[in-house]
Structure formats: structure tokens, C-alpha cells
Amino acid sequence: NLLFYGTTGTGKTFFCNCIAKALLDRGYTVLYMTAYELCSAFESFRFRDKSRPVLEESSIQDLIQNIDLLIIDDLGTEFSTALSVSDLFYCVNQRILLQKATIISTNLSLSQISKVYSDRMFSRISGNYQLLKLFGPDLRLHF
């Protein structure tokens, strides 16, 4: 598990994409979602119309549990609510319990992660992820 953190434009998303491509080329399954998209998927599943027949229902929880690598990009850009924080904790914790690989990227500092997502979530990340801080200027402004 990896946590890429640092200021905007230091290559966090680029590294996530490179890792995803390398694993996809080797036949592994990868789910790449921004934190916003992931929380939206949980919300859509939670509040779906359960009265409508569904031929094949694969929930976001099934994907979280079965995918080889989950990449959560831009942690901190989602609309932060008690439900979104709970959903993100579920993802992190569930993947740790299942010994599945996860990569998270964020512009948040470690102390901000602890404040926004709780000490419980930060403890899971700091104890089970390799924390990699990226430094430097915004690469997008130098091309």
C-alpha cells in the first residue's frame, strides 16, 4: 500500500497511472477512481431505486473487495460528510483486512488527513501504507 502526498503538481497522479498501467499490462485488475467518484459511487449504490429489477448487480463493495489494486486519487477533494468519511474508512480498512493493495494520492498533509478523516483512519494508513511525500514545483507550470 502506498500513500503519495504533497503539493499540487508534484506527480502523484502520474505515478498512480504508471503503476496502474504496469499492473494492467501484467493481467491484474485495477480500479482507478478519484475520492469524489468513489464517494459518489457509494452514494449512488446506497440510494438506488431498490424496487427496479436489476439483471446483474455488482456493488461498489464487491469491487472494493475483489479488485487487485484500488487507486483512490485526490483524497480530500470529495464532499466531506459523515457518510463519505465512513465509506472511505470502509475501503481502507476492508482492503487491509483482505490484504489487497491500495494506493492513495492526496494534496493533504498527514496532520490534515488525521483531522479530516479521524485518528482511526490515519492510524490504518500510517500503520499499513508506505508514506511517500513528493516535493518540488508544480510540474504542470514548467511544461
Mean pLDDT per 10-residue interval, the chain, length 143 residues? 95 96 98 94 77 60 91 92 91 96 96 92 96 89 70
Residue 31's beta-bridge partner residues?
70
The pLDDT of residue 55: 44
pLDDT at 11: 92
pTM: 0.88
**Structure confidence at residue 75 (pLDDT):** 96
In this prediction, residue 138 carries a pLDDT of 83
